[in-house]
A and B are shown apart, each in its own frame.
Chain A
Amino acid sequence: MNVVVFVLILALLAIVVAIVSAPLRRRPAVPEHDEQVPQAPLAADLAAAREAKYQEIRDAELDYRTGKLSREDYEAVDAGLRAEAIEILDRIERAEAEAGRSA
């Protein structure tokens, strides 16, 4: 092994150690409820569910407008979807209130 290769290996090792150890060298760990922490599991799940429900409402509307749903069926489906969306919004509100209280 020549010297250049040895130096290259050492440099690579140093870079790897620097990349991997950076989070460990920072100041104290960030607590779970800190704003830098990603969304809490429940909130993230509810946000995903809300987006999926909005998409479903839009899909139902497109199905109706393109003639795949009768007016009666659309109204029934749409009402059901809105009720489900409201339920999710309620749960998000409750989760936010709870998070606010615990903060």
Chain B
Amino acid sequence: MASLGFACLLLALGVCAYGIGASLYGVRSGRVEFSESGRRAVYALAAILTVAFAVLELAFLRSDFAFNTVADTSSRTTPGFYKAAAVWSSQEGSLLLWAWLLSLWSSLALFLTRKRMRDVAAYATAVLLGFGGFFVGLMIFYANPFATTHPAPAEGVGLDPLLRFPTMMIHPPMLYSGYTLCTIPFAFGVGALLARRVDADWIKAIRRFAFAAWLFLGVGILLGARWSYSELGWGGYWGWDAVENASLMPWLTGTAFLHSLMIQEKRGMLKVWNVSLVLATGTLAVMGTFLVRSGVLNSIHAFGGATLGVPFVTLIGILIAGSIYLVVSRRDMLRSEHRLDSLLSRESMFIANNLVLVGLCFVIFWGTYFPLISEALTGQESSVGPPWFDRYTVPLALVLVLLSGIGPVIAWRRATLANARRNFLAPLGAAATALVVLLAVGVDRKPFALAMFCCAAFVLGSVAQEFVRGTRVRRAIADESAPRALLALVRRNRRRYGGYVVHVGMAVLFIGVAASSSFQHASEPSLSPGQSTRVGAYTVRYVRPTASVTPQYDRAHTGSTLALGAEVDVTKNGRHVATLQPSEGFYASQDPTQGTVGSLIGGQPVSHVSMDGGVTRDVWSAIAPNIEAPALQRIIRAGNANLTGEATLVALGYLARVYLKSSPTAQFHFIVSPLVMWIWIGGLIVFGGGLIAVWPVPSTARRRVAARARARAERALARA
């Protein structure tokens, strides 16, 4: 079947080349049938890559180790649940996932725009097929997912234990969906510039895809943060890691675009800015993929090799140079149709929000690529850490949250000071109340956290006011009950109120971030059974050791051959709070020099975090058991010398028994973090708000509303 997969790749490359040629010929010559044929090439690409992906997925599920990719990233002991996800843990598989998702999303975009903007869509088709051809080319020439070895090895290396976590099943597809969706507005932006049609129509056509890209990327980032918190054993959810930053940057520019595009839709302004944001977002998405896949920067999340650097840098260079050329050469057509009516208007707030978002993106870009920049300039690689990022991003985040509260209470076009004063009363009241309450409970040692809580209260107050007033207006017009009026209000103004819900979610998320990062208590004690330690207001006691052997008994179901851990009792003021069971999983290695028993547990050990989560705080625990203890090492050495085959498991069983009996001192990591759960709840609210905003308006309702507005405008026309 590997030859079928590789034939699919060759066919896909041919289809990309043909589609690019047909689309460009069609749009340049006016031969619509060629443009149409080019569009269909994208559908064909999706079909071919679906077959290719199915071939590789089947190889993983069947543990067909003749496929090098399967042998390198899966094994018979890898749980079936993770075998399916192991496809995208490899360099080759993730490139195939990228290309496949790109082809699917591109097909959807081109299908939905098939009856409009034929010239723009034809150029966009060529660009999208260019991206597709690039990734298919990488697979054919650099990282072939269908490369085989004969005879096939009897067993595979196994999936990286760090990736054996449920959200890893969906984190990469979500993130890659976000990245690939970012290329759709990019392609249409390039198409609009090439076709010289930078009007309202192309913005309208890509709006939904820009929103979808933002949504998928956001969910992917949040799932990655959750994985980091629950799996990596350091207790944090964001470490300003290069790969984390790479996914955040296009999300920030995408967020800026979603705001500024409204100004172009309404006022015909910011055309240069908007098209630049679209092009930057698409380029940053490719750069994000480059960072994960090239291994050019050190990252816990970088799973690629160093072979893809040159092709990626070439592509990124083309994207940047091409984007600059197109914007500069079309600058005459990108002139604004109007000017700002007033500095006190929603447009001004959106522009301010855009500047902060792009500022944030620039800071993160500089910090992320600083190692490369410093190496290029000085010959020495140096990097910046979380404190550097915090110094610049925290104040900018504060301003951003504040603006997300100001925007909703200010009118489009113009607002008077008198109205502004009246509209700011409730939000300012909410912020002032929060300030008084927080000072009363003693939250005054962390000024940035205090400021963030007040800004978030301001946002919640402003959005609540908007919902209350909107519902009241709706009730007055339609004489409906409050819940019905609220529903009707949101249904008729999805983008506006969906956006407000997103603002609420972001405020909630930032409350969680500020509280958990400012008021966290952490402790890393060495404890023996029976000993206890204090972590904040909690007492944690090492009750007894725990151990399990063979994958069947692995508590975390990750396929570890041995798991050593502890049962920990958590109390507060003498009252039982929770029982935690952190452990560390030991996995088999392929290194025969470790011996018959040593190789069973000689792979990368991975922490199995145990925590008690709640709406007010999380008690988080991890353990590093001392596998190097002399009593345990003696058993491994004896087993290596005397046991082979299945008998080696007896040595592991004995090792577990000795661990339970002699219980060497273990190194623990305890964290008590307030309000962490609100980060995930905030994320869910953002996701819900995004869905409301992106959900298509039923066509009948749209026609009715449009007809009413048309009738009003026509009445005015009659009066004129």
Interface 0/1 of B703-720, CB less than 8 Å to A = 001100110111011001
B705's nearest neighbour on chain A, judged by CB, is A58
Q: Is the CB of A66 within 8 A of B32?
A: no
Q: What 1/0 mask marks residues of chain B from 64 to 89 whose CB sits below 8 Å from any chain A CB?
A: 00000000000000000000000000
Whether A68 touches B118, Cβ cut-off 8 Å, given contacts A29-B31, A56-B266, is no
B37 interfacial contact with A, CB 8 Å: yes
Segment 53-89 of A: residues with Cβ below 8 Å from B: 53-60, 62-70, 73, 77, 80, 82-83, 85-86, 89
Chain A residues, Cβ within 8 Å of B418: 70
Which secondary structure dominates chain B's binding surface?
Answer: helix
Closest to B472 in A: A66
Whether the Cβ atoms of B33 and A12 lie closer than 8 Å is no
Question: A5: CB under 8 A from chain B?
Answer: yes
Bound CA span A63–B116, Å = 33
| B40 proximity list for chain A (CB < 8 A) | 19-20, 22-23
Shortest CB–CB separation between residue A14 and chain B, in angstroms? 11
A48 touches B411 (CB 8 A): no
CB of B709 within 8 A of CB of A54, answer: yes
Q: How large is the interface on B (under 10, 10 to 19, 20 to 34, 35 or more residues)?
A: 35 or more
Give Cα distance in the complex from A48 to B265, angstroms. Answer: 9
A41 interface residue (CB < 8 Å to B): yes
Per the bound structure, the CA–CA distance linking A5 and B1 in Å amounts to: 7
Asked if A97 is at the interface of the complex by the 8 Å CB criterion, the answer is no
Q: Closest B residue to A60 by CB, please name it.
A: B412
- Name the CB-closest residue of A to B31: A29
**CB 8 Å contact bits of B400-417 with A (1 = contact, 0 = none):** 000000000111111110
- Is the beta-carbon distance between B414 and A77 smaller than 8 angstroms? yes
Would B32 and A58 count as touching, CB distance under 8 A? no
The yes or no answer to B190 lying at the interface (CB within 8 A) is no
A32 touching B3 by the CB < 8 A rule?
Answer: no
Interface residues on A, range: 35 or more
Does any Cβ of B come within 8 Å of A8's Cβ? yes
Which residue on A lies nearest to B718, using beta carbons? A86
B388 to chain A, nearest CB (A): 40
**CB of A38 within 8 Å of the partner chain:** yes
Q: How near does chain A come to B524, taking the closest CB pair, in angstroms? A: 52
B4 on the A face (CB < 8 A) = yes
B15 at the A interface (CB under 8 A): yes
A54 to B704, CA, bound (A): 12
CA distance A47 to B709 in the complex (A): 14
How close is B17's CB to chain A, nearest CB, in angstroms? Answer: 12
Smallest CB separation, B352 vs chain A (Å): 18
Are A9 and B43 in contact, CB atoms less than 8 angstroms apart? Answer: no
A86 close to B413 (CB less than 8 A): no
Contact check, A38 vs B1: say whether CB atoms are below 8 A apart: no
Chain B residues close to A by CB (< 8 Å): 1, 3-4, 7-8, 11, 15, 18-19, 22, 30-34, 36-37, 40-41, 43-44, 47-48, 51, 114-119, 197, 199-201, 203-204, 265-266, 409-416, 418-419, 422-423, 466, 469-470, 473, 493, 496, 705-706, 709-710, 712-714, 716-717, 720
Other A-B pairs beyond A23-B32, A57-B709, A86-B713, 5, CB < 8 Å: A9-B11, A39-B116, A41-B201, A62-B470, A66-B469
Q: Which residues of A contact B (CB under 8 A)?
A: 1, 5, 8-9, 12-13, 15-16, 19-24, 26, 29-30, 32, 37-39, 41, 44-45, 47-49, 51-60, 62-70, 73, 77, 80, 82-83, 85-86, 89
Question: Could you give 13 example pairs across A and B, Cβ below 8 Å?
Answer: A1-B3, A8-B4, A9-B3, A19-B44, A20-B37, A29-B31, A44-B201, A47-B201, A48-B200, A58-B709, A63-B412, A67-B423, A77-B411
